[in-house]
Amino acid sequence: MKELSSGFEKLILVCVRSRDNRECCMARGSVELYDELKLAMAARDPRVRVVQSQCLGQCSDGITVVIQPDNRWFGHVKSSDIEEIVNWASSGMDLELDF
C-alpha cells in the first residue's frame, strides 16, 4: 500500500443514491445539485473537490451534503444553498443555517 497526496484541502460529498419506491437524494435532484456545486466550487477554489457519494444514511433528510475534513453534514440542500456552501468551503466561515 502507498499513501497518496490528495492535492485537495477539502472534500464535499453529495449523495446521489437512488432507492426504488423509497425516499432518496436522487429523487430530490441530487445529481443536478452535484453538477451545479461541482462547477461552482471548481470556479471558486480548486483546492476543494466535489464528489458523488452513495448512501450517507440520511435519506429522509436528503439531499445530503457532507464537507470533510470538517465533518459538517447538511440536509435538505437545495440549489439556492450552493453559493453559501461554496463560500463556506472556500473560506471556512460558518454557514447561516435555518433551523
Q: pLDDT for 74-99, tens place per residue?
A: 999 999 999 999 998 988 655 555 54
Distance CA 84, CA 24 (A): 23
- pTM score: 0.85
Distance CA 65, CA 56 (A): 9
Q: Nearest-CA neighbor of 60 among 14, 95, 97, 28?
A: 28
27-77 pLDDT, tens per residue?
A: 899 999 999 999 999 999 999 999 999 999 888 898 999 999 999 999 999
* Domain range summary for the chain, segments of one domain joined by +: 10-83
CATH classification for the domain delimited by 10-83, as one of 3.40.50.2000, 3.30.1490.20, 3.40.190.80, 3.40.30.10:
3.40.30.10
| Per-residue model confidence (pLDDT) at position 10 | 93
